[in-house]
Structure 1
């Protein structure tokens, strides 16, 4: 039987209900890549979206999907949205990771660059961009996918992706 989500009304569980994966303690000790989240990003997000606007908010998009989280959720995809993430290599100094995408239904996903490389004496951080483009113009619910960085060896760094396509913004939306 498929997993059912708790609540009323009952529904089939989706990644919002059961999470992004299982914990593997051996692999957690050697993750390869990590998504560092700076506390300053959260402070700026909350100050620019919830509090009085200061001088630093003009250039800030105020979108939660721009925070450097180890997941991507785009709740308002009309045409195309690009998000950035930065990973830090905590594995071998010389490493290359290739992006593998499982696109959400009805959405095209591209990753630039599709391969990130780390050199022995170089920077241990790399920034990449993920562009989501709606293939279907529907007011829909969330669809799910993933982005995985593979080094061809021991490391597989997967983050979940959730995208909700919209045609227009509604003041009250139950989705």
Structure 2
């Protein structure tokens, strides 16, 4: 049977309702890539959330969290993330994207490489384009960076397409 969410009214569970799975301690010790964030960034995010500072429009979309949520995709949105290599010095990662339904996703660059004498961090861009102009609930996907050995770094993606801001989401 499908998993039910603990909600009123009852509904089928979606990725907002369930966790990421069982933890594998061996893989947690050697993740390969991390989405690093410092306390200053969290403070700015907190201040933006409560409207205490100006100029926060794109900041909340670009906070370097290991997840991407786009609550109001009308046409196209671009977000940026930075990954830091904490694995082997010489590593190359390729990307695999599972696009949310009704959304076209592109990643640039789609291959990232790290060398012993190069930077340990790199920034990539993801562009989300609505291919179905509908007012809807969230659809889900993922982005995975993988190398040719044991590293596979997956983050969830949640996108809600909208036509007009004033139409309420009832899902």
Structure 2 length-normalised TM? 0.93
Between the aligned partners of 1:95 and 1:173, the Cα distance in structure 2 is 43
1-structure distance, mates of 2:141, 2:169: 23
Choose the corresponding residue for 1:156, options 147, 152, 155.
152
Which runs of at least 4 in structure 1 moved beyond 2 Å after TM superposition?
A: 19-22, 45-49, 60-65, 171-175
Q: Check 1:51–1:35 CA distance in 2 against 1; reply closer, same or farther (3 A cut).
A: same
Q: 2:91 aligns with which of 91, 95, 99?
A: 95
Compute the displacement of 1:42 (Å): 1.9
**Residues 138 and 63 of structure 1: CA distance in aligned 2, closer, same or farther (over 3 Å):** farther
Aligned residues: 171
SS of the residue corresponding to residue 116 of structure 1 reads strand
Please state how far the C-alpha of 1:139 moved relative to its aligned partner.
Answer: 0.4
Q: Deviations over 1:30-58 (max 9, x none)?
A: 000001112211222232442443xxx44
Distance in 2 (CA, whole Å) between partners of 1:33 and 1:146 is: 16
Q: Look up the match of 1:2.
A: 2
Contact 1:20 1:160 survives alignment (8 Å):
no
Which whole-Å deviations, capped at 9, do the CAs of 1:79-137 have from their partners, x for residues lacking one?
00011100110000000000100000000000000001101111100100111100000
